[in-house]
Each structure stands twice: as C-alpha cells, then as structure tokens.
Amino acid sequence: MCDRQFGEVMSLVIRVINFIVARALNDRQFKTLLDEVNNYPGLLLHSNVRWLSRGKVLSRFAACLNEIRTFLEMKGVGHPELADTEWLLKFYYLVDLTEHLNQLNVKMQGIGNTVLSLQQAVFAFENKLELFITDLETGRLLHFEKLSQFKDACTASEPIQNLDLHQLAGCTSSLLQSFKARFGEFREHTRLFKFITHPNECSLNTADLNYIPGVSVRDFEAEVADLKASDMWVNKFKSLNEDLEESHDRKRSWRASTCGQK
C-alpha cells in the first residue's frame, strides 16, 4: 500500500520534471533543480529508478514548488495534486525520508569501512526508524523538517485541519520491518563480524565458524589461542582499530562540513 502510494507521488514528480526539462532548460528559476537532474543523466526518464538516486532531486523540487506551480499554470498544464493537502503530506514526508536514507547511503560508502561498521550503520538506522515512528505518532516532527514546515503552514491557514500522520508512521514501520528482514542475517552474525576487527577481545563458537566455508575449526581455534598470547599481534590489532576510528572520525567531520555548506 505504502509503496504504491509513494510510487504514485514519485511518478508525478518525474513527469513534471521531464516536462520542465523539455521546456524550461534556460529558465533561471529552475537552475538548481535542473543542475541536480543533470547530475544523474537519464535518471528521470522512467519511474523504476533507485529511490536513493532521487533524494536531492526531490529536495530541489520541494524548494521551487511554488515556481513549478506557476510555470505549469502558464503552460496550461494541470496537476491539481501539487496543491492537494494529502498528496503534499506524502510528498514532504518522502523528501525528508529520502534525505535520511541518503545519509545512511553516504555512511556506507567510501574506504575504511569494515563489515562491522556497515552492520552498525544499518542497526543505527533501524533505531532511528523507531525514533521516526514515535516522532510521527506524536506529531512532533523533529526529524521531518520539510514535513513540519508544511504542517505548520496548514495549521496556520486552516487550524481545524487534521493531517493523517499516523498513516506515515505506519509506512515508516513497514520500512523498519523491511530493513529487519533484509538484514536479519547480519544480526545473527554480530559476534563473527566483531571478531574480524577485534580478534584479541572476542570469542567464537562452532556455529559462528561454520558460517565461513572452508575453515577448519580445529586449526582456527589453535591460531586464535596463539594470537591472544602474542603481545605483538594484540598491539597490532589495537593499533589497526585506532587507525580505523581515526578514519571514521575524519569521515564524520567531512560529512558535517559538507552538510554545513549546503
């Protein structure tokens, strides 16, 4: 249900942008939107493209929505959904949610990641989805900036209007269940992933080792016993983990500075 509804929202956004691309290439009021579209050649020609690739395009579309409405009216093109409260509610939710998904995507890209850090990024996002559900159910919208602004505007113009945020909370819950199902196997092997980067601190059982094809449990256990007794290897892994932490700190600082420049 949620996939279909938000697919319809995204489909309309794509059709409108394609119309603008064909008829307003030199229109300065759409420069930021068109610049973002041009970052993904051919992106908006069909509707089954990955959601993450469209995050910034959605944000740009939202930023110049008033200009888009005016432009379409001038061209005699009718898209009443762009002024429909229910459609806009889903649209602004989608703008904010794709921004959160893009942040997760950035965290999982680049050098220096380990399978453990990727796992932790996914689990942290699942925790955030729990937070987002509560945020929507209570109507606080602390983590949905564009949606909150839209809600405030609706309340100011029509105080008695009731926006269905619980439906959006239900869609977020469905997304959470999808994440848990997709990454369920990740959760089962947390100890194994941690062992890869912290072999001097963790222990594994036979079930963990059976997950790795071709590993001799007997030989592996003997090697680990030697490793834990070796000051050289213990110190080596401590040093490597310190390097990994420094790398992650630099990546976080870079992301923070990049976000601050937007």
Q: pLDDT tens digits for 101-119? A: 988 988 888 677 777 788 8
Q: What is the Cα–Cα distance from 26 to 34, expressed in whole angstroms?
A: 10
- 3-class DSSP string for the chain: CHHHHHHHHHHHHHHHHHHHHHHCCCCHHHHHHHHHHHCCCCHHHCCCCCHHHHHHHHHHHHHCHHHHHHHHHHCCCCCHHHHCHHHHHHHHHHHHHHHHHHHHHHHCCCCCCCHHHHHHHHHHHHHHHHHHHHHHHHCCCCCCHHHHHHHHHHHHHCCCCCCCHHHHHHHHHHHHHHHHHHCHHHHHCHHHHHHHHCCCCCCCCHHHHHCCCCCCHHHHHHHHHHHHCCHHHHHHHHHHHHHHHHHHHHHHHHHHHHHHCC
Q: What is the Cα–Cα distance from 168 to 147, expressed in whole angstroms?
A: 11
Tokens of 42: 């051919």
195 and 165, same domain (yes or no) = no
90 and 184, same domain (yes or no) = yes
Q: What is the Cα–Cα distance from 186 to 116, expressed in whole angstroms?
A: 9
Greater confidence, 159 or 257?
A: 159
Residue 72 pLDDT greater than 70, yes or no: yes
Residue 256's pLDDT is 55
Last residue of a domain, one of 19, 47, 77: 77
177 and 252, same domain (yes or no) = no
Convert the pLDDT of each residue in 147-164 to its tens digit. 999 999 998 888 767 889
Last residue of a domain, one of 125, 154, 188: 188
Residue 31's pLDDT is 67
Convert the pLDDT of each residue in 185-236 to its tens digit. 777 777 777 777 777 666 666 656 666 677 777 887 787 788 777 778 777 7
Number of independent structural domains in the chain? 3
Mean pLDDT across the chain, nearest whole number?
79
Convert the pLDDT of each residue in 10-52 to its tens digit. 889 888 888 877 776 556 666 666 666 556 444 444 444 454 4
| Structural domain span for residue 159 | 84-188
159 and 172, same domain (yes or no) = yes
Residue 45's pLDDT is 43
**Cα within 13 Å of Cα(5), Cβ side:** 14
Residue 49's pLDDT is 46
Q: What is the Cα–Cα distance from 37 to 20, expressed in whole angstroms?
A: 11
155 and 93, same domain (yes or no) = yes
Tokens of 184: 């369920």
What mean pLDDT is predicted for residues 55-64?
Answer: 82
112 and 177, same domain (yes or no) = yes
State percent of the chain over pLDDT 70. Answer: 74
178 and 202, same domain (yes or no) = no
Q: What's the whole-model pTM score?
A: 0.74
Residue 52's pLDDT is 44
State percent of the chain over pLDDT 90. Answer: 29
108 and 176, same domain (yes or no) = yes
Last residue of a domain, one of 188, 215, 250: 188
